Amino acid sequence: MPNLENLKKQAKLILRWHRDRYFPVAAEIRAGLRRYAGMTDCEILAQSFKLGDAQELVARQNGFESWQALKTGLPTMSGHAETVSAKALITAAEPQLFVADIRAAIDFFVAKLGFVIAFASGEPPFYAQVRRDGAAINLRCVDRPVIDAGLRDREELLAASLTVATAREIKTLFLEFQAAGVPFVQTLKRQPWGARNFIVKDPDGNLLLFAGPAEDIE
């Protein structure tokens, strides 16, 4: 059962992310609060967003209609102070791709895959991050390959896996990339385990898997 003190911290973290224009939190807000459903990431981050909004989001993520309902619904132990869990909350994972030319890699992700530049460090740049919706990929410049290209291609060793929520979206994404001339290692394919996916190869040979459900559940 969630601890109230941890949920308070989670709400404050969401509020800080919104204030810092941390793009992944926009998708979280859009999914959890209906009034933001029709907005883009940029529009959500431009909106007024208060602690009460963040608390409402946390409440809904935990199955309650409001923060007050969450506080009432959480079990309490009379005569005992609440204890704060020492367990850390992992909020995101960001794959790191090794590339020979940061600018060329950025151009590929922006022009071909529809990402935006989050930052680029150094002149010339040696480290960068690109984002699209809730996905973030870090790019690290290296002067020689760090993996055997033949082994990678033969075993289809993936550098990153990115997912969408619906069957319609994975098809739409594939068609978008196809129109942009993105090189595919595997075109859109239905898998036996209930997924549809495709694999893209970036200019450095990194293999990127894009996946979604094979069918949408009504």
- Summarised one tens digit per residue, pLDDT across range 86-109 is 667 777 789 999 999 999 999 999
Quick check: is 61 in a domain? yes
Question: Do 120 and 190 fall into the same domain?
Answer: yes
| Residue 78 counted as domain residue | no
**Whether residue 137 sits in one domain with residue 31:** no
* 80: three-class secondary structure by DSSP: coil
108 shares a domain with 66 = no
The pTM score is: 0.61
**Radius of gyration in angstroms for the set of CA atoms belonging to the chain, rounded to a whole number:** 21
Number of domains in the chain: 2
pLDDT above 70 (res 204): yes
- What is the pLDDT, as a whole number, of residue 2? 61
Tell me: do 13 and 58 sit in the same domain.
yes
What tokens does 147 get? 């993996």
E strands, 6-100, are: 96-99
For residue 124, the enclosing domain spans 96-213
Same domain, 149 and 209: yes
**Does position 192 have pLDDT exceeding 80, yes or no?**
yes
89 domain-assigned: no
79 assigned to some structural domain = no
Whether residue 86 lies inside any domain: the answer is: no
Task: Provide the H-helix boundaries in 87-209.
Answer: 102-107, 149-155, 167-179
Ranges assigned E (strand) in the chain = 96-99, 116-122, 125-132, 135-141, 160-163, 184-190, 195-201, 207-213
Work out the pLDDT band at 218, boundaries 50, 70, 90. Answer: low
CATH of the domain at 203: 3.10.180.10
| 170, 103: one domain | yes
Please state, as a whole number, how many other Cβ atoms lie within 10 Å of the Cβ of residue 217.
6
Checking if the pLDDT of 6 tops 90, the result is no
